[in-house]
Structure 1
């Protein structure tokens, strides 16, 4: 069981690195990675111009599977974590913000969904 969890963790970290590379190619700066708060975790915080993207990275066996793995409860947790992050980083007050999702699966290009869910 432990080996399976370690493998899943490593795959998740790789997916997050892939997503960060995708955002950098699109002209974003990565402001935070794997940011943990008391209310949840944010995989990536990306910045371009005066716009922040709070990014959830999903890795599954197929991108279709990954697209369905963000239930309402998890979305609320991500929004609360983003609010916590913003409160901890007042230099970004007044910036536009949105919530993106990056779907990854083996042997496919990552798929970036901008504004994947409303605030």
Structure 2
């Protein structure tokens, strides 16, 4: 693996850790991190009350870059992975959604709720 790829991996893991800390502060229980499935990966799985969220974390150098980082193809992969994982994490009478958390240096985490209407 190239040095650039290794650094990108480290940056991604740090961002996911920051997002998990943020969710916990906001009252979420983080159930799983970096869950891989045959159809894609989900960065974080979290629950608050009866709401289950599959969370994509994006770390970028600027807010604009963070907003551009999530395209339809990526959201479709996250949605497919979430569909695959629902039976494992869904409890009785729970709502499910897909969220995104942007991690940008110098700013608090930016939590976008319910980004996928599939």
Q: TM (normalized to structure 1)?
A: 0.92
Give the equivalent residue in structure 2 for 1:42.
42
Describe the shift of the 1:98–1:91 C-alpha distance in structure 2 as closer, same or farther (beyond 3 A): closer
Give the equivalent residue in structure 1 for 2:116.
117
Give the equivalent residue in structure 2 for 1:82.
82
- Give the superposed CA RMSD: 1.5
Distance in 2 between the 1:39 and 1:24 partners? 27
Q: CA deviation at 1:76?
A: 1.0
Q: CA deviation at 1:116?
A: 2.1
Q: What is the aligned length? A: 118
Q: Which structure 1 residue ranges, 4+ long, deviate > 2 Å from structure 2?
A: 90-94
Distance in 2 between the 1:102 and 1:110 partners? 6
Note if 1:60 corresponds to 2:60: yes
- The correspondence of residues 18-33 of structure 1 with structure 2, limited to 5 A, is 18-33=18-33
Q: CA deviation at 1:69?
A: 1.3
Question: Structure 1: any 5+ residue segments left out of the alignment?
Answer: none
Distance in 2 between the 1:90 and 1:24 partners? 17
Distance in 2 between the 1:94 and 1:16 partners? 28
Distance in 2 between the 1:39 and 1:93 partners? 25
Distance in 1 between the 2:95 and 2:12 partners? 27
Note if 1:108 corresponds to 2:111: no
Describe the shift of the 1:91–1:55 C-alpha distance in structure 2 as closer, same or farther (beyond 3 A): closer
Q: TM (normalized to structure 2)?
A: 0.93
Q: Which moved more, 1:92-101 or 1:30-39?
A: 92-101
